[in-house]
Amino acid sequence: MKRSDDVGAAHELLGISINLLPWRARQRERHNRIFLLVVVACALLGGGIGWGRAALVGHQLQLEQARLAHIRDSMTRLQQDIASVQSLQARREQLQGRIALIRRLEFSRPYTVMIYNALTATLVDGVHFDRVARHGEQLEISGLAGSNRQVSEQLRRLAGSDIFGEPQLQDVRADDKTPRMRRFNLMLPVNTGEPAIRAGEEASS
């Protein structure tokens, strides 16, 4: 009797173990579904984060490209403005050069007459100039005189003129063609200030 009870109990235990298998399978399937859901959620979250970072980087790149394009446009406009200013400055310098040339020409014509009038007015008897050349504000004069005293007197008269500065005698020697005459060479500064002009105008009048 006891043995049969043990067999029945064993059968009951075996039945219970058999009945637990579907439950374990369902638990395993449930765990698998949860695991898959977690994996999918992590994948979606990672993809979303990656897409967000990519979108942010793309937006920053677009902003940087727009800023660089604005800088390039500004530099192009600045270079055009600089070229325009340089062109205007070059044209201004050309006009100023032309105006200065016209003024020099207008001034040099009457002033040249004043210079020659002053040379004539200061010429000593017995002295004559056979060469007068102008180099800027200097006159190079070559002439003949009857004596060294006449050369000295000529230098004194030139120095006393308001048109000229202090004459610088270069040399005095006997003339090759006329030994009794004294050939001299001198450099004579020309004054270009208003007093010299007024003096020349008074001498001309």
Burial status of residue 154 (CB atoms within 10 A of its CB: 0-12, 13-18, 19 or more): buried
Q: How confident is the model at residue 173 (pLDDT cuts 50, 70, 90)?
A: very high
Per-residue pLDDT tens over the stretch 1-39: 545 555 455 445 444 445 556 777 778 888 888 888 888
| Average pLDDT over every residue of 71-99 | 87
pTM (predicted TM-score): 0.46
More confident residue, 22 or 129: 129
Between CA 171 and CA 143 the distance in angstroms is 11
Between CA 109 and CA 202 the distance in angstroms is 17
Q: How confident is the model at residue 201 (pLDDT cuts 50, 70, 90)?
A: very low
Per-residue pLDDT tens over the stretch 45-55: 888 888 888 88
Between CA 107 and CA 101 the distance in angstroms is 10
The alpha-carbon radius of gyration of the chain (Å, integer) is 57
